[in-house]
A = this chain, B = another copy of it.
Amino acid sequence: MSEPVARTRPPYIAVIGDGDPRGPDSNRILEWAEEVGQDLARGGAVVVTGGLGGVMRAASRGAAGVGGETIGILPGADPAEANEFVRTPIATGLGVARNLVVVTSSDAVVAVGGKHGTLSEIGLALRMGRSVVALSSWRVESEGRLGGPRIHRARDPREAAALALRLAREGPQQPT
C-alpha cells in the first residue's frame, strides 16, 4: 500500500564556504555560490549546506529561486537559525561537529572560497569518500600519492556545478 520513496532519491550536493565573507572578493564569492546553487538545482540535485549565512545562504537562495530543494544542517539547536531559503532545517546541537554531517549526508561537495572551517569540511569529505569540487577555494596537496576521492578544480560556477553533478552520480568512493 505505502509506496517506497527512497529508490528515486536525487543527488545530494553540499555547497560549503564562508558564513561571513569579507574583503574585495566577497561579492564575487557570494554570486558564484548563488549560481552554483541554481545550477545544481536545475540539474536535479538537492542542495545541502550548513544552513547559516554567507555562502550557505547564497547557495540555498540560488537553489530555492529555481524551485530546488534545500537542506540546512545547523550547528545549533534552533531550526529558526536557518536562513530563509532553507526548506528542510536539521538542527543538530553538535556545534563544529556538524561539519561532518554536512559532507557525509551529501554525495559530492562544492567548496566556494572558504576559511578554516571549509578546509576541515574538505578534509572530512575526502575522508568519507566524497569528491570535492573547489571553486576559488583551498589548494591542497599531499606529499605522497593517494587513491580514492580527490579535489577537482573548477574555473567558474557552471563548471563547478556540472562537475559536482557528474561526481555525485558516480557515487561515493571508499572512505580512506
Contact = CB atoms under 8 A, between A and B. Distances in A.
Interface of A: 1-7, 9, 12, 23, 25, 46, 61-62, 64-65, 70-71, 73, 77-80, 82-97, 99-101, 104-105, 107, 113-124, 126-129, 136-146, 148-149, 172, 175-176
A93 B126 CA distance: 13
Contacts of A6: 79-80, 82-87, 89
A90 B69 CA distance: 14
A73 B138 CA distance: 28
Copies in the complex: 4
A2 B61 contact: yes
Contacts of A143: 113, 136-139
A97 to B, nearest CB: 5
A90 B87 contact: no
Contact of A90 (B61, B73, B97, B145): B73
